């Protein structure tokens, strides 16, 4: 049964006072860069929107539409699409970076000299770099140490944000001024920004949940049922928390929007590209084919390889990661992996936050 929406959506006329137009930059012309550009512009800010493709920038300038990634979304307000990254970030109070993890470092490094001292630079990217298992905020600190950095993560499907659907997110930064600035720039009637100081936990949660969204998509394709869906999400939370805590994250972060919040949305929505990849593979498609069909970045496929390697290195038990790895990269059959998971030694619940003596 479909339920009718009873609360009217905020309309563009409910915008903030535009007298406070602050200069900001968004780097990355894909779905999420577009969504954040829209929120910032609707909040009355002057947004320089950097993308690498000149034809795409021209299109956004002339038509107010990012045809390739968000063809049905009208971008209004003070938006300046550009392919000149140095010009985009010059004088910007905050720079938001939505570039896939594979290209993140190279783009920042190429323009490292252009960033300004103390500029707030916030990663929107949910991925991990292969060499050294670096998160994006660590790359920012290495490449542009004179900037103040942060991470934005949470249950934030771009396709819903551009629709002004009610959404919450988390800004994680050590510097309280960065947290306040981002809350102030992005917060509005439909976008609520919570703060956290556990940068590592928030960022790792955003990257890890993509793996479990693939698993959940596969389970949906196989019609495993509602009990199985719940078991999967809950045990995914346990597994990702166990891994992250072993690397120094705060387990409580995983109880919040960036943890369980993001896990729920990506494990239950076919808007998630990672979920869709899992679904397609669950229906018998080859991984490469499924990824090509989506035509947008699905970070989980790459993150899976790195997390599997890291878990082996540090000796953390991650049966879901192991099972997905065996299916996607080891030719294991999905039913054999499910059977192996169900017949494994029966364990304690919530073991990742229990004292060891109770969990054993
Ligand atoms: N789409 C979503 O709902 C959300 C996405 N994210 C994260 O944001 C990041 C970006 O994702 P999307 O925008 O969704 O991906 P997308 O696939 O929609 O777009 C990727 C963009 O990155 C650009 N790009 C790729 N390589 C580049 C390079 N070498 N130099 C410059 N630009 C390059 C592409 O041209 C494209 O504009 C990912 O890490 C994703 O996990 C985070 C929250 C929500
Ligand atoms: O991170 C997201 C929602 O919070 C987007 O997920 P996908 O990258 O799977 O589409």
Cα 329 to Cα 305: distance, rounded to the nearest angstrom: 9
Annotated active-site residue 283? The verdict is no
**pLDDT value, residue 360:** 46
pLDDT digits 0-9 by tens, 233-292: 999 999 999 999 999 999 999 999 999 999 999 999 999 999 999 999 999 999 999 999
pLDDT digits 0-9 by tens, 108-143: 999 999 999 999 999 999 999 999 999 999 999 999
Asked if 186 contacts 43 with a C-beta cutoff of 8 angstroms, the reply is yes
Best probe residue, ligand 2, of 167, 168, 169, 210 (max atoms within 8 Å of C-beta): 210
Report the atom number in ligand 1 closest to the C-alpha of 107.
30
Binding site membership of 276 for ligand 2 (Cβ less than 6 Å): no
Place of tokens 């960022």: 203
**pLDDT value, residue 26:** 98
**pLDDT value, residue 351:** 79
Share of the chain above pLDDT 90, in %: 90
Among 16, 209, 283, 310, the active-site one is 209
Asked if 284 contacts 222 with a C-beta cutoff of 8 angstroms, the reply is no
pLDDT digits 0-9 by tens, 191-210: 999 999 999 999 999 999 99
Q: Which ligand approaches the C-alpha of residue 261 most closely?
A: 2
220 CA from centroid of ligand 2 (Å): 17
Average pLDDT of the chain? 93
**pLDDT value, residue 354:** 67
User: Residue 139 corresponds to which tokens in the numbers above?
Assistant: 């790359």
Q: What is the mean pLDDT of residues 67-83?
A: 97
Task: Report which protein residue has its CA nearest ligand 1's atom 16.
Answer: 30
Cα 36 to Cα 124: distance, rounded to the nearest angstrom: 9
ipTM higher than 0.95?
yes
Question: Predicted confidence band at 21 (pLDDT cuts at 50, 70, 90)?
Answer: confident
Cα 248 to Cα 1: distance, rounded to the nearest angstrom: 44
pTM for the predicted model, two decimal places: 0.94
Best probe residue, ligand 1, of 26, 31, 306 (max atoms within 8 Å of C-beta): 31
Q: Which ligand approaches the C-alpha of residue 125 most closely?
A: 1
Instruction: Report how far apart, in Å, the C-alpha atoms of 169 and of each of 16, 39, 202, 333 are.
Output: 19, 13, 11, 37
Asked if 137 contacts 164 with a C-beta cutoff of 8 angstroms, the reply is no
List the domains of the chain with CATH numbers.
Answer: 21-197 (3.40.50.720), 208-353 (1.10.1040.10)
Instruction: Give 224 or 17, the one with higher predicted confidence.
Output: 224
Q: Residue 356: pLDDT above 70? A: no
What number of other Cβ atoms are within 10 A of residue 142's Cβ?
14
**pLDDT value, residue 358:** 47
């Amino acid at each position: 049964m479909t339920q009718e929406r009873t609360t009217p959506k905020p309309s563009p006329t409910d915008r903030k006072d535009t007298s406070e137009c602050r200069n900001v930059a968004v780097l990355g012309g894909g779905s999420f860069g577009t969504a954040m550009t829209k929120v910032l512009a609707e909040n009355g800010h002057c947004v320089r929107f950097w993308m690498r493709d000149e034809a795409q920038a021209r299109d956004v300038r002339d038509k107010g539409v990012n045809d390739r990634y968000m063809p049905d979304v009208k971008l209004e307000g003070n938006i300046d699409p550009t392919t000149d990254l140095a010009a985009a970030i010059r004088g910007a109070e905050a720079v938001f970076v939505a570039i896939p993890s594979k290209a993140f470092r190279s783009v920042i490094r190429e323009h490292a000299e252009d960033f300004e001292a103390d500029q707030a630079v916030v990663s929107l990217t949910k991925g991990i770099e292969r060499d050294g298992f670096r998160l994006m905020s660590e790359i920012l600190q290495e490449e542009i140490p004179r900037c103040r950095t942060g991470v934005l993560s949470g249950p934030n499907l771009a396709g819903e944000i551009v629709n002004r659907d009610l959404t919450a997110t988390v800004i994680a930064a050590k510097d309280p001024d960065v947290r306040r600035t981002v809350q102030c720039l992005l917060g509005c009637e439909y976008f609520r920004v919570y703060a956290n100081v556990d940068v590592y936990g928030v960022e790792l949660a955003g990257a890890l949940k993509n793996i479990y969204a693939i698993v959940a998509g596969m389970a949906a394709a196989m019609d495993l049922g509602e009990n199985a869906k719940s078991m999967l999400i809950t045990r995914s939370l346990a597994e990702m928390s166990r891994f992250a805590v072993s690397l120094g994250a705060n387990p409580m972060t995983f109880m919040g929007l960036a943890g369980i919040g993001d896990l729920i949305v990506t494990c239950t929505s076919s808007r998630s590209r990672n979920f869709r990849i899992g679904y397609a593979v669950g229906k018998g498609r080859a991984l490469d084919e499924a990824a090509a069909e989506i035509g947008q970045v699905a970070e989980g496929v790459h993150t899976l390889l790195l997390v599997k390697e890291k878990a082996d290195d540090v000796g953390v038990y991650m049966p879901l990661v192991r099972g997905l790895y065996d299916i996607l990269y080891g030719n294991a059959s999905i039913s054999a992996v499910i059977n192996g998971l169900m017949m494994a030694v029966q364990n304690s619940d919530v073991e990742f936050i229990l004292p060891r003596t109770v969990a054993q």
